[in-house]
Structure 1
């Protein structure tokens, strides 16, 4: 078996340990480029607590930063986080400014035509609202009312088209939520996971998540479209499977104080197997 075939088999199992020496054997441009550069550039959000946000000292931290670090560690390279936004993240990947996206991006058919979204998904969420306690009781209550949103997020269209809201879109989460605090909007439309984390943080006393999500959508890691079916895509698919199988995602929920996801727990259980026969 050639080294390349061995490499492909190892990637499929999600157990690759890459080193600079492999750069001479790997023909996939992005994989080889990262190994030779010695730096993995990963696009992450900059104000999406607790997935990716800045610490008081200015460093980017969070669940997705930790996931990115596992990739860099597995490859034996240094991690460089690049702050992206919902509006420019796919452009950054297309233009080669990042090698990989782990940026809270929902897996949608239109996006699969632009970037290579990896399976399995690593998280899931859906659109909901945050508002002052008692301000609204159903999605119908936002009809004709100003609702804060974030630029580039497709939840805005749902609030506008399905529920008749007047969405006021801001460049970042911080600006949008501060507009909610100041009374410029009746509610803030965003991911239920993020809103639940905000409320649990204790920084949003007097606010609630009063409505159910409209639907639940998976989040996918993305590589350049042309590399999805190559070594780079296969390697990242193996990484994503391992995040579920070895409990990495469950551990990160606990580390960052995120409410446990039944979806993550179920997939973790599905990927386990009975190895008791090994003792016989």
Structure 2
């Protein structure tokens, strides 16, 4: 068994080596930036007022101002690039951007992926945006309750574990907020400073931030790890120090309508302080670093308990792999949950789509023209529109009109949840193609057989169910197999509406653990195995249905 695991892991190790080898190490990242003539700085585009787009589509906000100031200090033009919470660390690590100023909370796990510059330039905590009508008083009240969240934020895993939250994680902030308004969740778990900014707008006057803020964490400028300890880190660190000392950060808070934070006020006093000789208290010492008291480290810690690595973890890491789903209880539980949901989702979509295909093919063959027209319209509409658009249509469109039901905890939520809508949307989408597939199989049944069923006195429906459909299935099984394989692969689309299937849980694990290569390979192999099981089952069915004596 160990030998087989070691053999399988060598492919992953090769991919890791190729990725590492693809990024040449720069001896001096600052010289590298200046030699290429620009600095690419990643910022957020969905996080007002720190980073967002104006009506003309230009990126503006507090962090964009900081990026431009940093470019001036670097002495090179700045190219501002929008990044997302889910991909910002990978974009930096892979060299797609040079510097990251994107509301990035500093954490021990993130320091294993990229370099975090001290001092921190901002700090915030975790809270929820919730309707005033809920009257929430404590975090413990939300145990097991559905909570919307944004993919890639540092606090999702820690807060979910601590308070046993049922997180519904969306890729985009606007999707999570829309789900909150549609009562898909009772609150939106997010950065308290961003929530405070939202509450100042008319759109969110019916909402509040009711709970005590948790886990205040510093925001750090991110660099590639190869730059840490070099001239680029020193320049960026000096820039952040000057932002505090000069009061620039306080000025930008006021400019962008952000309520002044105690963190920035205290850092401004600290960095402006002088000793008895008139020298700055916060200045670099003989070792080249600022005093520890001038760069208070506010690190978010992922682990709530100390865990001693087991033999499996030690062995896996000795191979150079970071497969946390094998030894981290939380990640393993989430992955197995995603696997189970993917299997259930695939089965639900297969059953629904095949049922629709059988019924639809029957309707297309009726002599009553209006019914045929309706069936044809359904087939054309759902075959020629993207499945993701259909998924959004059902979940955010029709789902918003569904009646509310009261859960056991007293919270009102829509009658149908994301999983059910995913089965409906993907099943209806695949059902349109299955309708055509079954109809093609029916048309291939010789006309003499149709006539024979009439001569034997079978009703049209009885003839279809007992004679025509079984023969048609033999004719179209190969095409049906291909369509069912596609629908199993399409289950990953359900992650767009926060259904916790395989793609969804994988996208929650790798941004925090930095194991992109490992998790993408695990995802690929898992889907390959799932599809292989389906193909094997369909081939067995094909052999079982083969007409004796047929080639």
Q: TM-score range by the shorter chain?
A: 0.7 to 0.9
Structure 1 match to 2:239? 239
Partner of 2:256: 256
What is the SS of the residue equivalent to 2:40? strand
Q: 1:183 matched to which residue of 2?
A: 183
Residue 131 of structure 1 corresponds to 130
By percentage of residues, which structure has more strand? 1
Q: After TM superposition, list the pairs within 5 Å mapping 1:210-229 onto structure 2.
A: 210-229=210-229
The verdict on how the C-alpha distance between 1:276 and 1:154 changes in structure 2, with shifts beyond 3 A counting, is closer
Contact 2:85 2:151 survives alignment (8 Å): yes
Instruction: Tell me the SS of whatever aligns to 1:175.
Output: helix
SS at match of 1:190: strand
Shift of 1:104: 0.7
**Residues of 1 paired with 2:113 and 2:274: CA distance?**
40
* 1:44–1:102 Cα contact (<8 Å) kept: yes
1:267 is displaced (CA, Å) by 1.0
Deviation at 1:76, TM superposition (A): 2.7
What's the CA shift for 1:75? 2.3
What residue number does 1:149 align with?
Answer: 149
- Please give the per-residue CA displacement for 1:219-273, whole angstroms capped at 9, x wherever unaligned: 1101111111000111100011011000110001000010101111111111114
| Residues 225 and 277 (structure 1), Cα distance of their counterparts in 2 relative to 1, 3 Å cut | closer
Confirm or deny: 8 A CA contact 2:93 2:114 kept in the other structure.
Answer: yes
Equivalent residue number for residue 51 of structure 1:
50
Q: Which residue does 1:170 correspond to in 2?
A: 170
Aligned to 1:160: 160
Contact residue 50 and residue 61 of structure 2 kept, 8 A:
yes
Aligned to 1:7: none
**CA deviation digits over 1:146-205, x for unaligned, max 9?**
110011223222342111221100011111111111211100001101100110133211
Stretch of structure 1 that moved more, 160-169 or 95-104: 160-169
SS in 2 for 1:203: helix
Alignment RMSD (CA, Å): 1.8
Aligned: 1:105 with 2:101: no
Q: Whose helix proportion is higher, 1 or 2?
A: 2
What TM-score, normalized by structure 1, do the two folds share? 0.85
Aligned position for 1:118: 117
CA contact (8 A) 1:44 1:83 kept: yes
CA contact (8 A) 1:28 1:232 kept: no
| Alpha-carbon distance in 2 for matches of 1:213, 1:130 | 11
Look up the SS of the partner of 2:42 in the other structure: strand
Q: What is residue 205 of structure 2 aligned with on the other side?
A: 205
* Partner residue in 2 for 1:17: none
Q: Are 1:71 and 1:239, in contact at CA under 8 Å, matched by a contact in 2?
A: yes
Q: Distance in 2 between matches of 1:276 and 1:225?
A: 38
- TM-score where L is the length of structure 2: 0.44
Instruction: Show structure 2 runs of 5+ residues with no match.
Output: 1-25, 279-551
Q: What are the Cα deviations for residues 21-43 of structure 1, in whole angstroms up to 9, with x where unaligned? A: xxxxxx95321222122221111
